[in-house]
Structure 1
Amino acid sequence: MTLKAGFLGYGLMGKAHANALARLPMFFPDAPEVERSVLIGRTVEALEEAADTLGFNRIESDWEAALDDIDILYNLGPTRIHVDPTVAALNRDIHVLCEKPLAPQTAGAEKMAEAARKSDAIAGVGYNYRYVPALQLAKRMLDAGEFGDVRRIRGQYLQGWQADPDDEWVWRNDVERSGSGALGDVGAHTIDLARWLIGGIDRVCGRLDTFVTERPVAGGDETRPVTTDDEYSAIATFENGATGVFEGSRVATTREGGNELELYGSRGGFRFDMERLNELEVYTRDDDGFERVLVTADDHPYMDAWWPTGHIIGWEHTFVHEHYEFLSAIEEGRSYSPDFETGVAVHRVVNAIQQSNEDGSWILV
């Protein structure tokens, strides 16, 4: 059976997910077949151009009407439009893959999770970094006990795309549309990876900063206020006793894709940097120091589907792996993770960091 997919949104995430669906049958031939059926948006002219580029059969400016003819909704638009279309789709047992964060506020995310619990459909949230082969290898080694008991994890995601005060205002600068700034955008990825690797977070202490309080609007002389954080930092304790140190920024001058993770346990640990996505630095007690592993061998996660050993893959391939797992869960009628409960859990950690910033104290999650 061919599944009909509808995309709500055609920006960066729309391109990433459409590219993944196009590549999927070529490299993962056992994946379910998916038809890029309908592209959903507001502006007909822009939709027509995007549909032609991304390979969709038709366009639709009314998301409710689009639900009549799809099996899967990919909700890839701005955070503020996640809740209603997603809930409506799940109420009709239409599968949903929604980009993170699930909603501007936790109440909206909880509404989505409640709809997912009542639905017969599969609901997943787009934490694509789980599908980096190097991090999948780190998870495999961690679960096998090769690093011993986890003591500490450090995660950072530093970007500089708004480091210049003259960089233009975007919807991500509006708390009503996005819910938070760097914390909910890049910080959510770090928090999810940490919870996936180690487990639940017990309490946090955090700080938020907004360095540029107004930004120019594109195509005019006016400015708009920035109501989200430019960067965050936080300390966390996990339910298993481990410590976490997290930071994220969109104003880190000279940084572009500084998504880094370090984990240390009683027997060893690992280091990962997205700017060297195919590498994992690993240390165990049997080693003299960190060993660089090029994660391209056939026995590494997902890599038997790609190129010969030593030939690297990129960021866009994480979405191919994500689609493979999500669509396979649909075909096999099994659960999928990260699901909406995961999305809500990350929301609660984000909320606790925001509350800590306001109160100046440790907050229980």
Structure 2
Amino acid sequence: MTDTSRELGVGQVGYAFMGAAHSQAWRTAPSFFDLPLAPRLRALCGRDAAAAQAVADRFGWESVESDWRALITRDDIDLIDICTPGSTHVEIAVAALRAGKHVLCEKPLANTVEEAELMAEAAAEAATRGVYAMVGFTYRRTPALSFARQLVADGRLGTIRHVRAQYLQDWLTDADAPLSWRLDKTLAGSGALGDIGAHLVDAAQFLTGSAISSVSGVLQTFVDSRPVAGDHGTLGGSGSADVERGPVTVDDAAAFTARFDNGALGVFEATRFATGRKNAMRLEISGSDGALAFDFEEMNLLHFYDATEPAETAGFRRIVVTEPTHPYAGAWWPAGHGLGYEHGFTHQVVDLVNAIAAGEQPTPSFADGLSVQRVLAAVEASAMDESRHQKVPHDAGTAEGPHAGRQGGAS
């Protein structure tokens, strides 16, 4: 059972989408896992005190603050959980660590490499005082991906040669969907690249145990302005001239190739314009002795191919990752009773609390987050350098491309 005699006071900054996911995790973790420290939901912080209070009442937070600085000064708070836009991460995290508070920070770690470096330096210094920081790449804690990491680490795939990674969403396909902070570079840092591409980068480096050493990428913004506020349908209709629109200053989609320091080749795609795809985070890794494939839309499944088996029986094996011996799964339901999106956040709390109690650095660390940030920055720099894009010549006189005019059997 969780040791309720030893408490970990938690103060959380942010109460919206991620704030709700984290709140649920802090509340749920000690009910299903034996923890060495009992999380206490001391205070929830948000600039809109009334909205923060409503969320606090729903999840059981003991109090509400409207300024994150108040959390740092409170003696009953041991850890600051940051669930705010990337532009705020560096100031909150560095101040919290210097004040002796443990920190959990949502991904991506920061909006720039320089900010991430400051955070990693503050975390390294704090660790010498027994104060720890972790970045929230929760997909690592999906049982199927944690199990996949075990298979790779055990050598079941042999030499890793290929990494294929996609994160496909479609929530921006409507050109008149409203503008939000995620589409503002000053707040979000980047678009699909940082929001969901960061997950791919972390997962790929985590699964392979290898760092990305070089990249070549392209970024694309398909819709460069959106309605500023409210339901666009109430502002005059799609395309109406009286709809106030604001600029989209981030990418809608990102694609890049990568080389890993173990010699593997990677192909990555992150987009919020994949019509019909809601949250398809897909990873496939090919090695000399096997392969594995995962899609978060079927998050309880892992497909594994053992190339050492005889050819007549070899094939991708469908593994339902819900057995008691699978990572995290034994604390929940009987085998076959699947987990969901929110469970990764609970597992994050479990690993963080265990590491803090043991006096060990939790992972992924801020140094890991900095590594991801450097990859994102390299992709962005590559995409901005048009000289790296080799033009493809087409036949003269074929304005529509090399196959123009080849219709109806024309030769």
Please state how far the C-alpha of 1:361 moved relative to its aligned partner. 6.2
Match of 2:225 in 1: 214
Distance 1:308 1:124 in 2: 30
Match of 1:262 in 2: 284
Q: Tell me the SS of whatever aligns to 2:118.
A: helix
Contact persistence 1:203–1:362 (CA under 8 A)? no
Q: Residue 372 of structure 2: which of 341, 346, 361 is its match? A: 346
Match of 1:328 in 2: 354
Gaps of 5+ in 2: 1-5, 236-242, 390-411
Give yes or no for the alignment of 1:201 onto 2:227.
no
Over the residues paired in the alignment, what is the CA RMSD in angstroms? 1.3
Give yes or no for the alignment of 1:337 onto 2:344.
no
Q: Residue 159 of structure 2: which of 130, 149, 159 is its match? A: 149
Please state how far the C-alpha of 1:360 moved relative to its aligned partner. 3.7
Q: Residue 189 of structure 1: which of 181, 188, 199 is its match? A: 199
Contact persistence 2:145–2:207 (CA under 8 A)? no
Q: Residue 20 of structure 1: which of 25, 39, 52 is its match? A: 25
Q: Tell me the SS of whatever aligns to 1:82.
A: helix
Please state how far the C-alpha of 1:362 moved relative to its aligned partner. 6.6
Distance 1:347 1:62 in 2: 27
Please state how far the C-alpha of 1:81 moved relative to its aligned partner. 1.2
Q: Residue 123 of structure 1: which of 120, 133, 138 is its match? A: 133
Contact persistence 1:122–1:336 (CA under 8 A)? yes
Distance 2:54 2:254 in 1: 37
Letter paired with 1:54: F
- Identity over the aligned pairs, expressed in percent? 44
Letter paired with 2:335: T
Distance 1:237 1:21 in 2: 37
Letter paired with 2:110: A
Q: Residue 90 of structure 2: which of 83, 87, 101 is its match? A: 83
Give yes or no for the alignment of 1:172 onto 2:198.
no
Q: Deviations over 1:46-104 (max 9, x none)?
A: 12111111211111112112212210000001111111111100001200000011111
Listed as ranges, the matches of 1:25-40 within 5 Å are 25-40=30-45
Contact persistence 2:30–2:39 (CA under 8 A)? no
Match of 2:148 in 1: 138
Match of 2:275 in 1: 253
Alignment TM-score, normalising by the size of structure 2:
0.87
Match of 1:64 in 2: 69
Q: Tell me the SS of whatever aligns to 2:262.
A: coil
Contact persistence 1:149–1:266 (CA under 8 A)? yes
Match of 1:97 in 2: 104
Contact persistence 2:138–2:348 (CA under 8 A)? yes
Alignment TM-score, normalising by the size of structure 1:
0.97
Match of 1:2 in 2: 7
Match of 2:397 in 1: none
Please state how far the C-alpha of 1:32 moved relative to its aligned partner. 1.9
Give yes or no for the alignment of 1:110 onto 2:121.
no
Distance 2:35 2:370 in 1: 31
Farther off after superposition, 177-186 or 194-203: 194-203
Q: Tell me the SS of whatever aligns to 1:84.
A: helix
Q: Deviations over 1:146-196 (max 9, x none)?
A: 110000010000100011101010001111111110000000000001111
Distance 2:275 2:336 in 1: 32
Q: Deviations over 1:205-262 (max 9, x none)?
A: 0000000000001236311100100000000000110000000101111110110000
Farther off after superposition, 207-216 or 77-86: 77-86
Contact persistence 2:35–2:353 (CA under 8 A)? no
Contact persistence 1:158–1:258 (CA under 8 A)? yes
Gaps of 5+ in 1: none
Distance 1:318 1:151 in 2: 28
Match of 1:280 in 2: 302
Higher Rg: 2
Please state how far the C-alpha of 1:302 moved relative to its aligned partner. 1.1
Please state how far the C-alpha of 1:30 moved relative to its aligned partner. 3.0
Contact persistence 1:173–1:228 (CA under 8 A)? yes
Letter paired with 1:206: G
Distance 1:322 1:218 in 2: 34
Q: Tell me the SS of whatever aligns to 1:46.
A: helix
Give 4+ residue runs of structure 1 displaced > 3 Å after superposition: 360-363
